[in-house]
Chains A and B, each alone.
Chain A
């Protein structure tokens, strides 16, 4: 059970919804956490996902979904406070620490997360994983960027095109 929140006037058990991954694993989470996904939010507001129904997510496998939900559960309380204007510095620091640790993951897991965050439209997570990719490539040369991201080496034709861009346009600023 998640740590109890001190939310006033919210007596009784939180509403739960069930999400079903592409490999048919069922995840039961609080509706508030799942609602960080813009894609799921409407379904949940309409009362979907409860009871034995569950919301199928054919594009997200169970490993990725459990990671996504770890993020949502952690961020749901702050999101419920409207971006947590009254959050303490300690709370914010804790979320930041969590975020940094959260994206400290294998690159293939990161790529799956990026896709899932995009499909589920989880804004904070989209931003977090995009920043991670930017951090991976910043300060690197074009060739280093390719290798870091796992691109194949350029073909001689591609290399020639890039050399031409470099000479024609110089910097990408006009």
Chain B
């Protein structure tokens, strides 16, 4: 690849430009974590609360329908508190939850922790009882492709 180092540095050292690129990443739960591990500079930018607000604003019409900071106070998901508490306590406080639309327009719940990504789906069974069902657990290092 014949990219002059100076041209690359001029682009990538510029926070304004870099954040314009990263804002346009798809709003999937893996986008920002991956970007944050590209280098220290990206890490600093992506973990900045201001950037994350902009990212959410940029994607507010996207399939990501909610990200809540204080999951235990969120009444709508009280159903899943027992499950989430058990899952989260086994891991560490850096875990976070993201409510997403699944591909078939169902309700999905993604739990991110330093080690795992878990995808849950809101399922209504034949008796009309709804609950969260674990669909998939992925090791984080596999998703990030670090090893």
Query: Does more than half of chain A's interface fall in helix, strand or loop, or is it mixed?
Result: helix
Complex interface residues of chain A between 150 and 174 (CB less than 8 A to chain B): 150-151, 154, 158, 161-163, 165-167, 169-174
Complex interface residues of chain A between 105 and 125 (CB less than 8 A to chain B): 107-108, 111-112, 114-115, 118
Q: Which residue of A lies closest to B114 (CB)?
A: A170
A140 at the interface (CB under 8 A from B): yes
Q: Verify B33–A171 contact, CB threshold 8 A.
A: yes
Q: Which residue of B lies closest to A173 (CB)?
A: B96
Which listed residue, B2, B17, B23, B37, touches A142 by the CB 8 Å rule?
Answer: B37
B21 at the interface (CB under 8 A from A): yes
Complex interface residues of chain A between 28 and 71 (CB less than 8 A to chain B): none
Which of B12, B37, B144 has the largest number of chain A CB atoms within 10 A?
B37
Residues of chain B within 8 A (CB-CB) of A74 are none
Known: A130-B24, A137-B25, A145-B35. A118 touches B3 (CB 8 A): no
Q: Which residue of A lies closest to B31 (CB)?
A: A138
B137 at the interface (CB under 8 A from A): no
Sorting the interface of chain A by its residue count into under 10, 10 to 19, 20 to 34 or 35 or more gives 35 or more
Complex interface residues of chain A between 67 and 117 (CB less than 8 A to chain B): 107-108, 111-112, 114-115
Q: Verify A172–B46 contact, CB threshold 8 A.
A: yes
Which listed residue, A112, A118, A146, A172, touches B47 by the CB 8 Å rule?
Answer: A172
Q: Verify B4–A141 contact, CB threshold 8 A.
A: no
Q: Verify B96–A111 contact, CB threshold 8 A.
A: no
Q: Verify B114–A172 contact, CB threshold 8 A.
A: no
B146 at the interface (CB under 8 A from A): yes
B40 at the interface (CB under 8 A from A): yes
A144 at the interface (CB under 8 A from B): yes
Complex: A149 Cα to B10 Cα, angstroms: 13
Which of A140, A144, A161, A173 has the largest number of chain B CB atoms within 10 A?
A173
Q: Mark B78-121, 1 if CB is under 8 A from A, else 0.
A: 00000000000000101110100000000000001111000000
Q: Verify A170–B94 contact, CB threshold 8 A.
A: yes
Q: Verify A115–B10 contact, CB threshold 8 A.
A: yes
Q: Verify B24–A134 contact, CB threshold 8 A.
A: yes
Given A171-B114, A172-B33, 5 new contacts (CB under 8 A) = A170-B115, A171-B29, A173-B67, A174-B69, A174-B94
By Cβ-Cβ distance, the 6 closest A-B pairs, closest first, are A141-B145, A170-B114, A134-B24, A172-B36, A150-B3, A142-B37
Residues of A within 8 A of B (CB): 107-108, 111-112, 114-115, 118, 126-127, 130-131, 133-135, 137-146, 149-151, 154, 158, 161-163, 165-167, 169-174
